[in-house]
């Protein structure tokens, strides 16, 4: 009897502590402007965003005219920041509008170039920090409509890209160097009044963009790091909400957002704000340590030189990536469940520099052959190996994207528990690839008979054992 009582008490205590531990886990800081999504969005618009995987960035504005040079001095910093490097007053900077003459701009050619590269979406700088608008905004004096050219360049781009089946995303900088009401921080009542006017102006521009170009799929906010924006975090939640009401399915990046406490990207409860993380700028998560990124959507973006987004006339100032290095970063991102955006900085005349044309064509050659390992693919759940990256397709097939041919000419594959390899073949030719099981869950996969001479893809057909956990659960049905 006494023993039973003790057992009963022990059970009672352990049961209560489990409940308490669960309660403690759930205890969250109450937030008015925190995250709004529970986990990854799974609606069709978000799935399309994710399946696209490869996009391009277009940084185009007045900064393309000086191309990194002001008063005879070439600045090595990012060309789109030249106004700041050379300390040019806004009025002087805006005189560049008189020289805006994109006589070689051809939206159809731009769209064709993106299509040929294999890009499924394009992120366009509607307005960068300088304040010049690529659309005829009625809320600003600094727009394409006030130049000799007068064309709605953004409108032409939206149409041309959409005609090629390419989704259009809008880059929008909240920070605006041309606007007298912009404030970096709020130090007085006057600042506060001015900045409120500025936020109203920003709302108007956003509403204008959403109304004029209703096929827009995404807003990618930038220039939101200043104390003034963080202090007005309510506005970041409001802007997200407003655009979501205006544009069904629209996606918004995490960089817009700050919570009640001014915490950015992730709220004070550690939850991602916006629909996808946009903190990976010119860097990627660590493929071994940072696999937590597979739990949410994210998008990285990269420059081709070290750090030039807008057109800079001198690309000899830094290392310039090769097409294979760019492809490596794209596949790397997909292998960790992310998207990758490759940046282009068109010339002021509306043409692309030869280096960018060549790079885009080279990437296109590759994506045409091996795109199956990118589009619609996701994190595969296999341990990373030195030869390259794994991705997983929609039907549970696994792709090995081989960048480094090993000396041994054997590609080591370690499969997760419950996963075995049934068959391997070269993606391009269908050539059978020999697979030898060396120990449990470890295989030697042969390289192709003839080295393709470029990063190549081996497709694995896998078998999933009953009761397997992880990303392959669904493949069972």
Minimum Å gap between C-beta 37 and ligand JFZ is: 20
Please list the residues that pair with 220 across neighbouring strands. 171
Among 116, 191, 260, 281, binds ligand JFZ (CB under 6 A): 281
103, HSE (Cβ side, Cα atoms, 13 Å): 3
Among 130, 218, 222, 259, binds ligand JFZ (CB under 6 A): 222
With 0-12 / 13-18 / 19 or more C-beta atoms within 10 angstroms meaning exposed / middle / buried, residue 316 is: exposed
Q: Does the protein bind ligand JFZ through residue 277 (CB under 6 A)?
A: no
Q: Does the protein bind ligand JFZ through residue 76 (CB under 6 A)?
A: no
> How many CB atoms within 10 Å of residue 4?
8
Sketch the per residue contact string, 309 through 328, with ligand JFZ: x for CB under 6 A, - otherwise. x-------------------
Please list the residues that pair with 410 across neighbouring strands. 446
CB nearer to ligand JFZ: give 297 or 397.
297
Q: What share of the chain is helix, strand, coil (3-state, %, to 5)?
A: 35, 20, 45
CB nearer to ligand JFZ: give 311 or 456.
311
Task: Read off the tokens for 411.
Answer: 């590609």
Please report which residue ranges of 166-318 form alpha helices under DSSP H: 189-212, 227-231, 233-246
CB nearer to ligand JFZ: give 63 or 213.
63
Minimum Å gap between C-beta 84 and ligand JFZ is: 10
Sketch the per residue contact string, 283 through 302, with ligand JFZ: x for CB under 6 A, - otherwise. ------------------x-
From 77-85, 134-142, 244-252, 419-427, give the range in contact with ligand JFZ by CB under 6 A: 77-85
CB nearer to ligand JFZ: give 78 or 209.
78
Minimum Å gap between C-beta 80 and ligand JFZ is: 5
- Specify whether the CB–CB gap between 234 and 262 falls below 8 A: no
> How many CB atoms within 10 Å of residue 471?
18
Size of the site for ligand JFZ (CB under 6 A): 8
Q: Does the protein bind ligand JFZ through residue 80 (CB under 6 A)?
A: yes
Strands 419-426 and 432-433: antiparallel
Distance from the first to the final alpha carbon of the chain: 50
| Binding site residues, ligand JFZ, CB under 6 A | 78, 80-81, 222, 279, 281, 301, 309
């Amino acid at each position: 009897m006494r023993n039973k009582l003790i057992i009963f008490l022990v059970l009672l205590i352990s049961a209560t502590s489990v409940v308490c531990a669960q309660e403690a886990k759930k205890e969250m800081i109450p937030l008015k402007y925190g995250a709004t999504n529970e986990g990854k969005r799974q609606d069709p618009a978000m799935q399309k965003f994710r399946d696209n995987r490869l996009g391009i960035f277009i940084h185009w504005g007045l900064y393309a005219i000086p191309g990194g040079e002001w008063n005879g001095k070439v600045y090595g910093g990012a060309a789109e920041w030249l106004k700041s490097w050379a300390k040019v007053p806004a009025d002087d900077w805006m005189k560049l509008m008189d020289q805006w003459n994109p006589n070689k701009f051809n939206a159809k050619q731009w769209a064709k170039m993106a299509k040929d590269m294999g890009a499924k979406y394009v992120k366009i700088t509607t307005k960068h920090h300088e304040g010049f608008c690529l659309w005829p905004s009625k809320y600003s004096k600094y727009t394409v409509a006030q130049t000799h050219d007068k064309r709605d360049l953004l409108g032409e781009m939206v149409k041309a890209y959409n005609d090629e089946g390419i989704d259009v995303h809008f880059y929008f900088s909240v920070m605006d160097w041309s606007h007298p009401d912009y404030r970096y921080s709020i130090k007085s009542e006057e600042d506060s009044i001015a900045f409120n006017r500025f936020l109203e102006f920003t709302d108007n521009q956003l509403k204008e963009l959403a109304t004029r170009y209703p096929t827009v799929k995404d807003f990618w906010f930038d220039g939101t790091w200043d104390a003034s924006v963080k202090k007005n975090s309510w506005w970041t939640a409001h802007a997200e909400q407003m655009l979501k009401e205006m544009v069904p399915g629209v996606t918004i990046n995490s960089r817009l957002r700050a919570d009640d406490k001014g915490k950015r990207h992730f709220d004070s409860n550690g939850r991602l704000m916006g629909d996808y993380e946009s903190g990976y700028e010119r860097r990627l998560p660590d493929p071994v340590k940072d696999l937590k990124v597979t739990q949410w959507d994210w998008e990285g973006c990269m420059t081709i030189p070290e750090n030039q987004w807008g057109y800079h006339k001198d690309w000899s100032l830094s290392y310039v990536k090769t097409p294979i290095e760019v492809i490596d970063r794209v596949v790397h991102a997909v292998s960790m469940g992310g998207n990758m955006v490759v940046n282009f900085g068109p010339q002021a005349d509306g043409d692309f520099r030869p280096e960018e044309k060549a790079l885009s064509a080279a990437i296109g050659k590759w994506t045409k052959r091996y795109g199956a390992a990118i589009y619609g693919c996701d994190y595969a759940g296999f341990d990373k190996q030195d030869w390259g990256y794994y991705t997983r397709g929609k039907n549970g097939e696994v792709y090995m994207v081989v960048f480094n041919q090993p000396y041994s000419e054997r590609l080591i594959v370690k499969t997760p528990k419950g996963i075995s390899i049934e068959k391997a073949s070269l993606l391009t030719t269908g050539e059978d690839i020999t697979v030898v099981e060396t120990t449990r869950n470890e295989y030697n996969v042969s390289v192709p008979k003839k080295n393709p001479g470029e990063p190549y893809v081996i497709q694995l057909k896998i078998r999933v054992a009953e009761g397997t956990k992880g990303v392959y659960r669904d493949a069972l049905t």
